[in-house]
A and B are shown apart, each in its own frame.
Chain A
Amino acid sequence: MWTYEKKLQYPVRIAKPDARAAKVIITQYGGPDGELGASMRYLSQRYSMTDKHAIGLLTDIGTEELAHLEMISAIVYQLTRDLSPEQIKAQGFEPYYVDHTLGIYPCSASGEPFNAATFQSKGDPMADLAEDMAAEQKARVTYDNILRLMDDPDVIDPIRFLREREIVHFQRFGEAMNYVVEAQNKHNVYAVNPAYRFK
């Protein structure tokens, strides 16, 4: 069960529309290392997780990613609000516009629709947590790349916040992995999947 709070996790106030920036940033909504995939990955992986700390983190980080999804959507929405056909053409936004007008649709920067094949729920705690740590790093790199392409401080500020969260989540997943390693060490095995009892 989830409860909606009528606020963003971190404020988004963008004065100047910029469709070119929106086209890049939308990749963190529906792209291969975006917030939608992050949330679905963590929330899906909870059921076969064996460590209680990791289950808590998957639930709470999976929920925070939904708040990040909303921030990215708000950034894209504010960057594209009230664009004229002339601005759409001048800023190279025609391919998105023709399919979605100014609606917010989960796709990558290249226009690929969101695809659940960008993440796994492998049903093996070590494999899943290793993917989660990699996912946080890949999202951090995407934010680094976005920051290199942006010059508007109104856009840079919330993107920097989101980038920092990737680093904190990486840290927390690393701690969760230590618990799984500790439990595996007790049995002196790495060759079995503790989430699946049939050997």
Chain B
Amino acid sequence: MNRQQSLKRVRELSFMLDDIALFLDSNPHHQQALACYNKYRDLHARAVESYQTHYGPLTKCSAAGENRWTWLDHPWPWEKEAN
């Protein structure tokens, strides 16, 4: 996967988690939604790991490289090139 495809995967899974979380806020005992959340949480974690390994940090936690701070390396999200 190139950077754009990898980011799309992260974004889609992240959005699914955001949307299901809102549903769970008002329906905390909904078993099907809970199962869905758990499934996509695992897929999201893997997609984030894969993106960060190849294309740089999504959060500051992953920005401390071996000998330098990589948080500033890539375009910020509001730039067309970052999307």
Residues of A within 8 A of B8 (CB): 11
- Residue of A5, A9, A11 touching B58 (CB-CB under 8 A): A5
| B10 and A7 within 8 A (CB) | yes
- Residue of A14, A60, A70 touching B77 (CB-CB under 8 A): A70
| B59 and A5 within 8 A (CB) | yes
Contact with B along A53-76 (1 / 0, CB 8 A): 100110011001000001001100
- Residue of B21, B26, B77 touching A7 (CB-CB under 8 A): B77
Known: A8-B78, A74-B78. A172 touches B58 (CB 8 A): no
Contact with B along A5-17 (1 / 0, CB 8 A): 1111111111100
Q: Is A78 an interface residue (CB 8 A)?
A: yes
| B26 and A78 within 8 A (CB) | no
Known: A57-B26, A60-B21, A168-B22. A77 touches B11 (CB 8 A): no
Q: Is the interface of A mostly helix, strand, loop or mixed?
A: helix
- Residue of B7, B11, B15, B25 touching A56 (CB-CB under 8 A): B25
Complex: A129 Cα to B8 Cα, angstroms: 34
| A74 and B77 within 8 A (CB) | yes
Q: Is A198 an interface residue (CB 8 A)?
A: no
Q: Bin the interface of chain B by size.
A: 20 to 34
| B83 and A11 within 8 A (CB) | yes
Residues of A within 8 A of B28 (CB): 53
Q: Is A112 an interface residue (CB 8 A)?
A: no
Q: Bin the interface of chain A by size.
A: 20 to 34
Residues of B within 8 A of A60 (CB): 18, 21-22, 25
Closest 5 CB pairs of A and B: A74-B78, A56-B25, A175-B26, A11-B83, A8-B77
Chain B interface residues (CB < 8 Å from chain A):
7-8, 10-11, 14-15, 18-19, 21-23, 25-28, 57-60, 71, 74, 76-78, 80, 82-83
23 A–B contacts, CB within 8 A, in A order:
A3-B60, A6-B58, A6-B74, A6-B77, A7-B7, A7-B10, A8-B11, A8-B77, A8-B83, A9-B14, A10-B11, A11-B83, A14-B80, A57-B22, A60-B22, A60-B25, A70-B77, A70-B78, A74-B78, A77-B78, A172-B23, A172-B25, A172-B26
